[in-house]
Structure 1
Amino acid sequence: MPYKQQFPVFAFASLLLGGIAIGFAGILMRLSDVSPLASAFWRMALALPLLWGWAWAVRAQDTRNGLRTDYSRVLLLAGIFFAADMGIWHLSLHYTTVSNATLLSNFAPIFIALWLWAVHRMRFARVFMVGMVIALLGAVLLIGPNAALGGTKLLGDGLGLSTAVFYAGYQLVIKDARNQYSTARLMAWSTTITAVFLLPFALAMPGAFWPAQAAGWLPLLGLAVVAQVGGQTVIAYALAHLPASLASVSLLIQPLTATIAAWIIFHEVIGPLQMVGGAILLLGIYLSKRGS
């Protein structure tokens, strides 16, 4: 009888939990009483002790595996892209709904594919092209009501979409760096660099940098522990043990979580047109990932 590979149940459960954890990032940011960029900075800064503790714990294993433990320019580039992604995304949450900001940030796979096509002349299956067109249609329907109103809502949607460009750059850099660094070392370095780049902008932005009360640290700690350490780390583990196609569709639980949580906690109501647009957008992203 041929050997049947066992389905990695733990990795799949980890992926879903990681997606749910990151889905709460927008909720925790809204619950904080500091400025959007300050919340992005504290998300990184408060995660650093845990991440560097993890990196220190596996340093001997990294050395045995021939992995780098020093600093390099690829880490700097990863930190710059992630700082732009986090800073702009947290800012978008200040202007638009949690649902829109999260859904539009999921455009990253399409921007990655466009980069690979433009720079490396990589060809994609027809299903990718169909998925991209469907995703663009969904984005138009999702943004449409805010475009009609104009003002800060449309600005927030635009910022949410632009984060996908920087997150795509971050993923492309990280993909190359994973052959040189362990996940622990990579996350510790990139998060440190991200925090350094966010700090001056967080200090310069109008609004509070420090929480007004002790309880104000709780949402920021939640961002650091739940979203940054828990979500990103668990997803990094799961992606190493699951097929890319399964991982891509499973991670769509992130915007679904954000939408439901924002509806329950903040009573964010999504109109019928935006519901349809969001569903079409997710379908388009899924098809694009399948064909890329």
Structure 2
Amino acid sequence: MTNAVPQPRPVLQPRPWLGPLMVLGGGIALGFAPIGLRLGLDELGPQAIAFWRYLFAVPMLLVLVLAVDRRLPAKPNIAVFLAALFFTLDMALWHWALTMTSVSNATFIVNLGNVLVGLAAWAFLKERPGLNWAFAAGLAILGAAALSLGGDGSHPGALRGDLFALAAAVFVSFYMLFSKLARRTLGGLEAMFWLSVFESALAFFVVLFSGEDFMPKTPAGFLVPLALAIVVQVAGQGLIISGLGSTDTAVAGILVLAQPVVAAAISWSLFKEPLTTIQAAGAAAILVAVWLAQQKQRTRPLPAP
């Protein structure tokens, strides 16, 4: 009788499409953020909505960490705090921009930061996205410009709102960069937990600075921030942060641009902000850029273990 040689367990290889798909799904979920903001302005100011969105997400994410990882969240690193700082500043400026200009304008302009993050990743993370990304990024920028400049310009204060959104774009690029760094020592769920904790604390001071009321006019005013916490903060941001662990930062930045396409499509019917022909062409260019970026990531070989 011969002794059977134990066979090694097969090693599960990471699926190269899973990370980009999570980032893309998160970008789609984020498209509901400006819609929720507009719907909640009757009860709360834009900064208070952001504060309650972050705060409501904290216990949800803690439960998810305990259920999935079966342990308390790991100790936060400096990168996750800096990511929260830049995200809070980004959201503060973007929420103000949404009250001054159209949803499509504000969303597309701020998402230029998701394209610019590829250059930051090249400089600081030594990620070389390649010519295919450069073409997709250029196409995305042209699409964003077409949507921003192709509107009717009838919103009062639109130029000021566009400038606020442009400043927010700078902060969102740093947010993506430091989120990638935070994922080196933190899992996706615990990174999102600490992001929401820090964002809640920082947003508290933003609300104080803005002079807005913390409490809504009626209890029903909590419904919009609660919905944003579930759909945008937990699901949307959670998918993006988790997907960033296995997706190039530059590619992820383009995939997140699904967000403004969703926002523009919903605001067309909900807020009577129809897209002109130029704007529709810009949205189509963004979608092509997203497809190109995803193809680039899908064909990239896996790194050696």
Query: TM-score, length-normalised on structure 1?
Result: 0.79
In structure 1, the residue matched to 2:206 is 201
SS of structure 2 residue aligned to 1:55:
helix
* Structure 1 residue 47: Cα displacement: 0.9
* Structure 1 residue 288: Cα displacement: 6.5
Partner Cα separation in structure 2 for residue 58 and residue 12 of structure 1: 21
In structure 2, the residue matched to 1:42 is 52
Which residue, 39, 44, 56 being the options, matches 1:31? Answer: 39
Q: 1:289 to 1:154 in 2, by over 3 A?
A: farther
Contact 1:39 1:220 in 2 (8 A): yes
C-alpha distance after superposition, 1:176-214 (max 9, x if no partner)? 221211222211111111111111221232444321111
* Structure 1 residue 238: Cα displacement: 5.3
* Structure 1 residue 220: Cα displacement: 1.0
Contact 1:249 1:286 in 2 (8 A): no
Task: State how 1:95-174 maps to structure 2 within 5 Å.
Answer: 95-119=100-124, 124-145=129-150, 152-174=157-179
Which residue, 4, 10, 20 being the options, matches 2:28? Answer: 20
- Percent sequence identity over aligned pairs: 33
In structure 1, the residue matched to 2:8 is none
Larger Rg: 2
Q: 192-201 vs 246-255, which deviates more?
A: 246-255
* Structure 1 residue 223: Cα displacement: 0.9
Contact 1:95 1:156 in 2 (8 A): yes
SS of structure 2 residue aligned to 1:46:
helix
* Structure 1 residue 229: Cα displacement: 1.0
Q: 136-145 vs 175-184, which deviates more?
A: 136-145
Task: State how 1:244-255 maps to structure 2 within 5 Å.
Answer: 251-255=256-260
Task: Kindly indicate whether structure 1 or structure 2 has the higher relative contact order, using CA contacts under 8 Å at least 6 residues apart.
Answer: 1
Provide structure 2 residue ranges, at least 5 long, that are not aligned to the other structure: 1-12, 298-305
Q: 1:233 to 1:150 in 2, by over 3 A?
A: closer
Contact 1:38 1:203 in 2 (8 A): no
Q: 1:220 to 1:130 in 2, by over 3 A?
A: same
Partner Cα separation in structure 1 for residue 291 and residue 63 of structure 2: 36
C-alpha distance after superposition, 1:225-245 (max 9, x if no partner)? 111012222444556678999
Provide structure 1 residue ranges, at least 5 long, that are not aligned to the other structure: 63-67
Q: 101-110 vs 190-199, which deviates more?
A: 101-110
* Structure 1 residue 253: Cα displacement: 3.6
Contact 2:133 2:250 in 1 (8 A): no
Q: Which amino acid aligns with 2:30?
A: I
Contact 1:22 1:231 in 2 (8 A): yes
* Structure 1 residue 122: Cα displacement: 6.0
Contact 1:99 1:255 in 2 (8 A): yes
Which residue, 186, 193, 199 being the options, matches 2:191? Answer: 186
Contact 1:125 1:291 in 2 (8 A): no
Partner Cα separation in structure 1 for residue 14 and residue 74 of structure 2: 34
